[in-house]
Structure 1
């Protein structure tokens, strides 16, 4: 059992359903996945089996009161994009909370919390906005800090726009960072004037001895984007290298795909601009370094959907991804299976309205895809031997909390 530092103060909001005075209730069995339910004000974490059914619908919530919690969950919570597999639940409390929490599964023991930047004097206006975690060793994990610190007098360790080191065994900051500001670029903002598109690191995937880091490369006002790119970080030395994805923008999402990784580039601009700059790429290690080995650009084929959101690997060159809908005119999100080798897409499902689907999770052993849907809960799709998808009954979670299902991830 790994233990974190002892933390005393408790912030309580509301009433937690999955906890009791003195601690989080231990789970009755090992879950396979964690699910984030959120209305962007409050959050609950459900723990589910491999088939999507609930072990506990509200194991931790924004109202959980338990020793070891110094900050309750906010409304902007994420789980690391790749399962860390260390027997714990990692929760990233993002913008304006900036806290990483670690809870042992299934016991519910809080191993600790750590703030992802020093909130000392002069730093209170900056949010580091942690986006992902890569576990390297028992005493080392790297966190991607999405936000740059615009204070020119900020200490070296508090500049953001970087990877930041913590010690998971004590849940303390290690005083190390890998800066990525060398990959900032100047672009035209919405008013035509020059603005800095910061690297803005997001997802992290480990391939061999390197980390592949997705970069959003967006301005402070999110009104300008730099060329799509990912960063290669050598674990042993901290050396970095930029790999550009020609013609693409906002390549923040990277997901594991066996010995490869898949990069989803969301594109940038109006609908025509997004089509022209959105795509999906495959990256592999070649002689120890990351190389782009396949790229699908949606702008090359007007018949393809612009489905680069929530990309997840299925098998071989096939992925699941969805296309956002729109409010005016009202159109739903649409989920597709995409074959990167043939450049073909098959629609699997759609949502009731726009911006309701979350990133899918695929279980290859069961040929089962679990898809968060803000209106319908956790939707389930099984793939038959002929490759077609059939929808099973959706799983509704903690309906009395009225918190939409947003995200699912492996532990």
Structure 2
């Protein structure tokens, strides 16, 4: 129904109702494309600049360079734009020309920052006016804008994981004496709405780029059959963890580069790095043989951890074959059967050995992986929601304590 037809059918309504209807139809937003980084909550310093700076960093609106600054980036254009305009006057719409004048920014620089804010879902805009777009905080408040964003983020993440499920062929088999990952990386996740494949990309590399698995500047990694795609495909089809040596043996190239790719996968919350406990027996055997040859039996008993971690009844089962040069991996595994994996790891450390780490997709199934990444995203969003509430409280009360 056009506005003219609306007025004809409902003459008793005031004209401003029709205008509101028209404005609603013309409000627009960019395709959703946001990057989120999990940061510790601000604790001691709750000044408005600290809170807005944390907010800007969590949404990765600016690229951090070096150590944190004392002013929390308060001089940056996007910081001032949020603090002095959209957050402090959330119900006001801002003309792009007005913002350009007040912030002393060129139209190109202003457009860059406004595009980032709009792509995140925080802002919407209308093209009505005197040739300039007018921007406004969605929902008329920071808290409502965040809730609108979060609902979209969750839905897009669910769709992305369902799409990944079509390629998931991994059987999630637990390792013997498995030890969970001790310190997962902070979540660093991209959430991008559906878009067509870019030139040269495959369906999987496009998915990886939209999820953040290829970094901020994918370059050649976006191309079909890139190293990143081959590594991720291997993870999708392999049950056991893949060590860096395994990846290097299969794909070649520099180990450092392969390591950076795998660590980027970890940061996105889809991959974990765990000790290869399936190789614990061979690692202990190698360390025992090496230290026996170098330091002898007495060192193994006292400083090598035998007396501390291995039952006395098992000492001879290891030391006698060691003395004859006939110790096997199977003998070591039999002697370690009743010793906890954590104690075996400690023994390996005392012996100067090293257990390789392996990378694998999190979860025994796509559903478990989806639950994990959804829970981690929810935790990140709860932090952003809490800081958003704190920003509104400080701007309303002026109390920064």
TM over 0.5: no
Q: Pick the structure with greater CA Rg.
A: 2
Provide TM-score, normalisation by structure 1: 0.25
Q: Which has the higher contact order (CA 8 A, sep 6+)?
A: 2
Structure showing the higher helix proportion among its residues: 2
